[in-house]
Amino acid sequence: MNKYRNLLFALSFAVVFFSALVIGVVIGMKYHYQAARVPVVNAVQNAVTPAGEKLNTFVAALRTMYVDTLNVDSLVDDAIVDILAKLDPHSSYIPASDLEEVNSQISGNFYGVGIQFSIQQDTVNVVAIIPGGPSEMTGIKPGDRIVNVDDSLFVGKTITNERVLHSLRGENGTKVRLDIKRNGVDTLLHYTITRGKVEVKSVDASLMVSEDVGYLRINQFGATTYNEFVSALARLRDQGAGKFIVDLRDNPGGLLDAVIAMLNELLGRGQMIVYAEGSNYLRSDAVADGMGSFQKYPVVVLVNEFSASASEIFAGAVQDNDRGLIIGRRTFGKGLVQQQMDFNDKSAMRITVARYYMPSGRCIQKHYKLGQQTDYYLDIYDRYNRGELYNKDSTLKADTTKYYTTHGRVVYGGGGVMPDIFVPRDTSYYSAYYNKVFNLALPYQFAYQYVDAHREQLKNYQTWQQAESALKSDKVVEKFVANVKQKHGFAPTAADKKCMAELQRWLISYIIRDARGDKDFFSIITRDDKTVKLAVEKLSDLGVVVK
């Protein structure tokens, strides 16, 4: 039973990750691979085949001949989904209702009111205000609760994340009225907000983790990621960084253009970044032009089993060119490239058009069978069951063909990027209580409630270290345990003592994030991260600091 509980906790992130993986590696909007894209698009536009004529006749017959009234458009959508389900695991159909949300993940912006929110006790709570967004200009504050939207009640069991996004996002320049309940104010506050552009950041954190090592955490590869990446590197260099850690753990991928441009900053002239090729897709190579500003700086890349697609291109190019070390666990294993095709009804299809290959010639796409997508995504369970997340020797090499890096080191394809240095998952603090509270998201809820009750006090601390010390003195872990006991009816046992220090670390981190922002949050997280510590240690062996 404990093993099962641990599996649930270890894989709790998987549902969100696989939803995000629809991003994949998507051909971008700039100059890369344009020559290869044209034949693909033209082929679709110009193709008139017997099969196509048959489908057109079939749909026309349904519209004009069927005995009852049909929603033919809905049937066509279902048919497209069913056909794509028989192909590879990454070809997908995106309904019109979802396309804006999906595209915003890689476009780097969307139009809305500009808040981060959390639904607690059937109410939308404002967790943070996105800098530069419309809400910042109108005076909405963290801790506010949205009660009405456009004069309609907006609380209760029907409130979901999807409904909130649908209500608060919209076309640029449109207005939405929010009625707000604020602590300490007896009456509702009324705001009319004009929706505007809201920037989506790809670089979650950029900070110094030692005297000369800068750290960047990238959550995806979108249209703005390259600029964010270069700006963050430059800022860290100005702060004294001569070596860098690029953290791609849990990064599901994104735009091919973005990752190519980023790698161009690190690799020397003529070094291969990646190439792509398919049956109907002319081979196209991406090669560094030698103009990058960070070619000589030592680099370590952090990856894990949820690093996929564009993340794997980044790690694979660094590894195959012997540009730096890869530390962590075997990556997801997605080596397929999708191209998005938009339909007239504002839905879209992302269809796999090519495989991408690392500089050594390997493709890191893991094995799949056409139409068996469930088995494909359950691969992570197989990795867990055979102990791969905890023991390097249990890692399965789907492709035993040997490929060679620039310096002659052996690498393999067929199932992700194998790190140069393996770091197992740390389960030393796992316990039944720890797993249960996180699976129920109770630490996140408690952190928000705590901040809501101590918001002004937490703002007064000059540094996150002062806030951390105060939270320890306030015994937040004991308060959390009492809160869980009162509201949910369970408590830790003697066997759960081993998890309390780790639980305290996360509680304090979440509280500080909600009160002070992401930078302080990541300052705590990276300080105690064993993989980051190992990366700092290994960087000391990777050459002289470049100034």
pTM given for the model: 0.86
The share of the chain scoring above pLDDT 70, in percent, equals 88
The C-alpha atoms of residue 282 and residue 195 are separated, in whole angstroms, by 42
The C-alpha atoms of residue 470 and residue 466 are separated, in whole angstroms, by 6
Tokens of 234: 């430059």
Q: Is the predicted pLDDT of residue 2 greater than 70, yes or no? A: no
Model confidence at 22, in pLDDT bands (50, 70, 90)?
very low
At residue 290, what is the residue type? G
Q: What's the pLDDT tens digit per position in 68-113?
A: 888 988 898 898 889 888 898 888 898 887 887 777 767 777 889 9
Specify the DSSP class assigned to residue 119: E
Q: How big is the chain by its Cα radius of gyration, in Å? A: 25
Beta bridge partners, 198, equal: 110
Minimal CA–CA distance to 502: which of 480, 478, 485, 477?
Answer: 477
Q: What homologous superfamily is domain 109-199 in, according to CATH?
A: PDZ domain (2.30.42.10)
Tokens of 320: 């195959």
Answer for the pair 297, 242: CB distance below 8 angstroms, yes or no.
yes
Domain ranges, ordered by start, for the chain: 1-94+207-425, 109-199, 432-516
3-state helix, strand, coil in the chain (%, to 5): 40, 20, 40
Of 10-14, 158-162, 264-268, 457-461, highest mean pLDDT = 264-268
Query: In Å, how far from its chain's centre is CA 13?
Result: 11
Q: ∠ CA(285), CA(243), CA(263), 5° rounding? A: 10
Query: In Å, how far from its chain's centre is CA 435?
Result: 22
Residue 447 neighbours by CB under 8 Å, 6+ apart: 507, 510, 511, 513, 514
Q: What's the pLDDT tens digit per position in 432-456?
A: 999 999 999 899 999 999 998 998 8
Residue 146 neighbours by CB under 8 Å, 6+ apart: 117, 123, 124, 126, 154, 178, 179, 180
Mean pLDDT of the chain: 86
Question: Would you tell me the crossing angle of helices 476-488 and 500-516 to the nearest 10 degrees?
Answer: 100
Catalytic residues: 309, 320, 334
CATH number of this structure's domain 1-94+207-425: 3.90.226.10
Query: In Å, how far from its chain's centre is CA 161?
Result: 17
SS3 449: helix
Q: Is the predicted pLDDT of residue 221 greater than 60, yes or no? A: yes
Region of 414 please: left (phi>0), alpha (psi -120 to 50) or beta: left
Least confident of 102-116, 119-133, 433-447, 492-506: 102-116
pLDDT of residue 41: 46
Q: Is the predicted pLDDT of residue 375 greater than 70, yes or no? A: yes
The C-alpha atoms of residue 243 and residue 260 are separated, in whole angstroms, by 20
